[in-house]
Amino acid sequence: MATPKILVLGAGYGGLMTVKGLTKSLGASDAEITLVNQNPYHYFTTELHKPAAGTAHHDHARVNIASVINTNRVNFVEDRVVSINPSEKKVYLENNTFDYDHLVIGLGSAPETFGIKGLLENAFFIRNIDSVRMIREHMEYMFARYKNDPKEEYLTIVVGGAGFTGIEYVGELVDRLPELCREYDLPQEKLRIVNIEAAPTVLPGFDQALVDYAVEYLKGKGVEFYLGVPIEECTKDGVVLKGGEEIKSSTVVWTGGVRGNKIVEESGIETMRGRVKVDENLRAPGHDNIYVLGDSSLVIPKDGERPYPPTAQISTQQGQYLGKHLPQLMRGESVHAFQYAPKGTVASLGNRVAIGVVGSKKLFGGSASFMKKIIDLRWLFLLGGISLVLRKGKL
């Protein structure tokens, strides 16, 4: 009997946890495991707001994949996925084609633009290592230009979206911009950080006392909030809000939401806004050999109507579940349903301040910031053990 082929697409939080688990739950001759990723590194999506603002080097937000997986057991392929053909059980890459018996899709997300005109063409996105490098370099170039050509839009940063990524990025900017003012001899009073959110509140769904704390802290640092005001258009000169107000800015960064990956949408697998509503074992509907996790998946609680938000935390747990239970599912055995167990949520507001909920306890300021750093260290430990914590960890 041929050795079953397991193909894992994407080395994000879910994909890496899946292959790390499979190397423990499967014997060396039980299956061929192949992991495909576009880059030779895994990047920490929860850390990208820091290099985007310039408060950390982008190398702090990534780790070499070969250093955290067992390359004797996992065939790692650095290539870009082009298409998935479930009927043929094939995945087409830019430079290769792979057959599979069991497919795990963890290809991440794409920006959700909500049809805003000009957004894809004129805004920056906190998406990956390359995109945050571009944001930082562009922002600093605009600051450098101001001395010779003092246009206010060079010193105006518009952040679209006040969810997690938006607020954490704004928090990093609050820490970074005073340093840049000194570096480029700029008048700090001319700087503007404008955070625009279509919903009536920042961090929708978060505890109101924590939201109030975050808004007051950031306002105290000079951040301007436009809440309940959608962006209608993004141009090369800035943004136009509903009602016609224009905010001139040379640096517009969009953090206002994600949708599933287009490759999954085009594969013929049933999706909702590009995401797959998976069953209790994380299978795609109508495909008992295809599993979907991370931002490409939709997991709806038994007692709820709204899906869990796509976070690193749920992706990690999905990967741990598949890493442990995929061998049983391959054999046709019954396995308990995936159950997401939230460990708490913490949003940083710069390096020393944060807000969060852990269990039933609300955390503010320094104690929340310390908890955020502990959560980050936990992921490093899960990924690469104590050696990775010592290499990459920061308290």
Residue 145: exposure state from Cβ atoms within 10 A (0-12, 13-18, ≥19): middle
Asked about 140 being catalytic, the answer comes back as no
Neighbours of 154 (CB within 10 A): 22
CA separation for the pair 85, 216 (Å, rounded): 50
Tokens describing residue 354: 């944060």
CA separation for the pair 260, 157 (Å, rounded): 27
CA separation for the pair 124, 161 (Å, rounded): 12
Q: Which of 176, 194, 196 is nearest to 250 (CA)?
A: 194
Query: Are 229 and 198 within 8 A, CB to CB?
Result: yes
CA separation for the pair 369, 375 (Å, rounded): 10
CA separation for the pair 64, 133 (Å, rounded): 18
Which of 168, 172, 197, 265 is an active site residue? Answer: 168
> What residues pair up with 97 in beta bridges, in sequence order?
92
Active site residues: 168
